[in-house]
Chains A and B, each alone.
Chain A
Amino acid sequence: MTVPDSQGHFGMYGGRFVAETLIEPLEELTRAYEKYIQDEDFLAEFDRDLKTFVGRPSPLYHAHRWSGKLAGAQIYLKREDLNHTGAHKVNNTVGQALLAKRMGKSRIIAETGAGQHGVATATVAARLGLECVVYMGAEDIRRQAVNVFRMKLLGAVVEEVTSGSQTLKDAMNEAMRDWVSNVDDTFYIIGTVAGPHPYPVLVRDLQSIIGRETRQQCLEATGRLPDALVACVGGGSNAIGLFHPFLEDASVRLIGVEAGGLGLPTGRHAAPLSAGKPGVLHGNRTYLMEDEHGQIQPTHSISAGLDYPGVGPEHAWLKDSGRVEYVAVNDAEAVAAFHDLTRTEGIMPALESSHALAHVMKIAGQLDSEETVVINLSGRGDKDIETIADMEGITL
C-alpha cells in the first residue's frame, strides 16, 4: 500500500475534512505542489534560500561530554537550532512562501502557538514583501510577548484569538475562517504536518531536508547509518522531517517523543498518540485528545510548541504500523534535560527539543557505547528562559 493515496489518506488517517469552500483552494494548492516539487527552477531556488537565508546545512554535532556522562550510546545533535529564526520551522515557511509567490498570492496567513512558526512566517513574508497576518490565541500572546513583538517588528499583523481555549487549536480555527473568507488572494502557511491534504505531505517534503542531511552527515562521521533517531512530536513536523528519509531502513530505530505534561494519568498533557484516540479535527483524521462525546480537550505542556490536541496523520499511521515508537516525557523531565544539556554542552535547547533529550537520558544506559543516536535539536532555548525563570521563582 502506498501512502498517502491521491486524496491524502495514510491508511485510515489524513484526508480532507473541510468545508466545501476550501476544497477548490486545496485542489489548487495540490496542483501547485505536485508541479513545483518536481520543478528544477523551484527546487534550485528553495535550495539556494536554504543555504544563504536559512544557513543550511545545519551541522550534526557529536555531544562528546553528554554522551560520556550518560554512559551509553554516542549522541549526535542535529542542530536545527542554528537555523535563521532559531528552529526548524523556517525550512517549511521558506518553501511555502516560494510556492505562494509562484501561485500569485499576495497575502499570507498563519497560526502560531509559541510564536516560532509565526516568526518564521513573518520573516519570509517580510523578505518577499507579502502581507502577513498571524493568528495567535490570547493566552499564548500573554505567554509569548517577545515573539509577538518580533512578528510585529517584521511587519506582520498579530490577530488575537479569544474563542474556545484561546490557544493554538483555536488560532488554527481562526486561520481557517480567514482563509475561507479570503481564498482568492490568500495563502495559508500551516506550520506542521497536520491539516487537510496536501499539507501533511507538503510540509513533510519541505522538512525532509533535515533527514537527508542527517543521513549524509552520519555516514561521513561514523561510516554507517545511525542506530536510532529521536525527535519531539507536537504536530510532528521536525520528527517527520528527520524520520522520513529513514523509513525504509529497518535497522534504524525511530522514536517520537510527545509532551507528557503533568503525567499521562493526570490527563493534563499533549500526548494524543500515547493517550488519545482517532477522530477528525482541522481537516484530517488522526489521533486526538478528546472526551467521550468527541469534544476536543484542553491540553497542557510546559512547551507551547507541543501544546496541541492533534498530531500529523502520517504519525498516526506510523504508530499503528509500528514503524515508529511513540513515548511521552513529562514537564519536569524535559526541564531537567534542558538544564543538563545547557550545562554539559553549552547548548541551550528549546523546551520542545528537551523532550527528545529527556527520553534519550532515560534510555542511554541501555545502549552500547558503539551505537549512534541522533536527536533532532529542533530549536534553541532562548525563547524559553522566561518560562524556566518563572518555574524557579526568578523575576528577570
Chain B
Amino acid sequence: MSRISSTYQALRQQNRKALVTFVTAGDPNPQVTPDIMQALVRHGADLIELGVPFSDPMADGPVIQRANERALEQGVALANVLEMVEQFRRFDSQTPVILMGYLNPVEIFGYEEFAGTAAAAGVDGVIIVDMPPEEAALLNRHLRARGLDQIFLVTPNTTERRIETIAGIASGFLYYVSVKGTTGGKQADALDVSEKLRLVRSKTDLPLAVGFGIKDAGTAAQVAGYCDAVVIGSALVETIHIAATAGADIAAEIGSFISPVRFSLDKAA
C-alpha cells in the first residue's frame, strides 16, 4: 500500500483528520526546505505538498506567486526539488510527499524520466494544476508504472459527470478546491462545501481533502467535518516568509502556526 493510502487509513482508524501542508520548495532558500518539511511533520502535518516553482503560476494568488519568484531567483528547478525530497527522506520515511505545480517543468523533464526520478527520490504523488484528466492519460500511465499517485482537483463548478471522470483516473485522494478562485483567496462557505462534498463522496471512495481559502484553525475546523483532510497553503507560506524576512526561527514560527490548526482538527474529529 502506498504511503498516501496507509496514512489516510491510519488516520481514519484513529478517527482523525489529515492535515496537509503546502510550502513552496526553495523558499526562502533551497537549503532550508528539507528542515521546513521536518518541522511541519514535528508540529502535526500528516502529508506534505511541495510546490514546484514555475514562472507563470496562473492558479495561484499573490502569496504563492511571490514565493515562486523568490525560489526561481535562486535557480530552483524541478531537479533541485527532487533532491530536497531525497534529503527529507533520509530523516523521514513515513510522511507522504506530494509535488504540486504546473505542467511545463514536467513536460521538459520528460514524463517517463520524471516519474522514475520522482519515485526514486521518495515522492508519493503529483498534482499538476493545469493538467485536467482529458490531457493526463500519458503522464498518468508513467506515474502509475512507478507507483505514484496522480491527484486531481475538483471545484464547485465541476459537473457530476466530470466528477466521475476525475474519480476514474485519480488515485491517492481527491483535492476539493473550496472556492472559485486562486490560492489564498476568499474564504470557503462551509455549507456550500458540505453539499458539494456529499455529491463527490457518492462518486468515490478516495479520501477527500479540502483546500484554497483555509487559513487558520477556525476555517480548518469549519470544513473538517465534511472531509478527510484539510490543506493549508498560502497562510503557511506567508508565515514562513515573514519569519525568514525577520530573521526569526522558522521552525518555531511554523510550530506556532501549525499547532493550533492540528489541535482544532483533532478537537473537531
Contact = CB atoms under 8 A, between A and B. Distances in A.
Interface of A: 7, 15-21, 23-25, 163-164, 169-170, 173, 176-177, 180-184, 278-283, 285, 288, 290, 292-296
Contact of A181 (B108, B159, B162, B185): B185
A295 B55 contact: yes
B210 to A, nearest CB: 14
A184 B134 CA distance: 23
B105 A295 contact: yes
Contacts of A170: 56
Given A17-B135, A24-B158, A24-B159, A282 B58 contact: yes
A164 B56 contact: yes
B112 to A, nearest CB: 16
A310 to B, nearest CB: 10
A19 B130 contact: yes
Contacts of B153: 19-20
A15 B134 CA distance: 9
B106 A294 contact: yes
Interface of B: 54-62, 65-66, 69, 72, 77-79, 102-109, 129-132, 134-135, 152-159, 162, 166, 177, 180-182, 185-186
Interface centre among B54, B155, B158, B159, by most chain A C-beta atoms within 10 angstroms, is: B155
Leading 7 A-B pairs by shortest Cβ distance: A294-B108, A294-B105, A293-B77, A181-B181, A294-B104, A19-B59, A295-B55
A18 B181 contact: no
Contacts of B159: 24
A173 B130 contact: no
B248 to A, nearest CB: 26
B182 A181 contact: yes
B129 A19 contact: yes
A282 B56 CA distance: 9
A272 to B, nearest CB: 13
Nearest to B105: A294
Nearest to B129: A19
A19 to B, nearest CB: 4
Given A21-B157, A180-B59, A296 B104 contact: yes
A290 B108 contact: yes
A194 to B, nearest CB: 13
A20 B57 CA distance: 14
B130 A21 contact: no
A17 B55 CA distance: 16
A173 B58 contact: yes
A177 B56 contact: no
